[in-house]
Amino acid sequence: MQCLDDSDDMAQSEENFRLRKEAVAWVIRLQNSRVTQEEQRAFEAWQAQSPQHILIYRTVSRVWDSPELTAAACAVAGASPSWLESKPTFSLRWPVLAVACLIFVVLLADHFDISIRWQADHQTGVGERRIVELPDQSIATLNTQTALALSFDGTTRRIRVLKGEVLLNVRHDAERPFIVESTDTTVRAVGTTFVVRTDPEGDRITVLEGTVEVESKGETDAPVAVTAGSQIQAEPHHLGRPQATDVVTASSWMRGRLVVEGVPFKQVIGELQRYHPGSIVLLNQQVGQIKITGTYNVDDPVGALAVLLKTVPVSTIGLADRLVILF
């Protein structure tokens, strides 16, 4: 009996997915100011097939008109979607707002990029990794969207992580401490390998080999020792406790992989966004809670997203690769 119930649920899910795709097509078609009477009658006949047709069309329409989608349009600077190029009669209902937002976002982004560029000695773009030999022959591996500023002299080796994520393989030098500063923390290391990642939620330090001392810039407590196989999360004005972690998974980005186990879909999308050339907007919060397990190739983020989307019941609207809306 259970098998029959599962079969019915699967059939219903497939039917809803089909209807959502048809509803998306109708929403796009009806934005055209030159919709013919024949097309309008066809749309009304489609809606009349069942109350579910009407309900799903209204749901998709709300997504199309949502403030989140309008805001997402601001992120697609000048990108012409493929279906727009093939159908020049199609026109968006909010191009003026999108252009105005675009100007503001581009100016704001340029301001911060210029500020970081002025300070950075080394940096990477979206989806880029780079290995840098430091002045003391230590090695820094920069992950996507990372920027570092260096200050090396005869007494101290100092790095500032302006943004992003970096793996540091530190060469031993007892006379010159190796100090890494980021938004919330200061890390001291001697002859060790560790990762420092900055996030809006707080810095994260993962130790692969050796031991480091971590202190919060907002606390006066003694530094916390973090040993190999451990990770510590820092929040503004607060430092957590070291926790055991899988260092292979934590450093999987070095091999161009994103490895997740039982991680909410919303969080996986956030991770993939760091490597993706465009914006990914998740509007379906229920789907966002689904737990994901898998390995994804971040060297091909567009392909990785396509693989990921096969594992969840979500519909998409894509404007080339510059904007992907999930609902």
Average pLDDT, the chain: 81
Q: Does residue 282 belong to any structural domain of this protein?
A: yes
Angle value at C-alpha 32, between 28 and 37, nearest 5 degrees: 105
The residue that leads in pLDDT, 69 or 174, is 174
- pLDDT tens digits, one per residue of 17-50: 677 778 877 877 786 667 788 888 889 999 999 8
Per-residue confidence (pLDDT) for residue 39, from 0 to 100: 84
pTM of the predicted model, to two decimals? 0.70
More confident residue, 277 or 211: 211
The residue segments making up the domain with residue 78 are 2-95
Same domain, 259 and 194: no
Per-residue pLDDT at 309 exceeds 90? yes
What is the average per-residue pLDDT within 231-252? 89
Question: Could you read off the pLDDT of 251-304 as tens digits, one per residue?
Answer: 999 999 999 999 999 999 999 999 998 888 888 888 999 999 999 999 999 999
Task: Identify whether residues 192 and 308 lie together within a single domain.
Answer: no
Q: Which of 8-12, 16-20, 33-37, 152-156 has the lowest mean pLDDT?
A: 8-12
Number of domains in the chain: 3
Do 130 and 207 share a structural domain? Answer: yes
Instruction: Inform me whether the pLDDT recorded for 2 exceeds 50.
Output: no
Task: Please give the pLDDT value at position 33.
Answer: 60
Residues 237 and 135 in one domain: yes
**Is 233 found in the same domain as 172?**
yes
User: Is there a single domain that holds both residue 132 and residue 236?
Assistant: yes
Read off the pLDDT of each residue in 89-108 and give the average, rounded to a whole number: 44
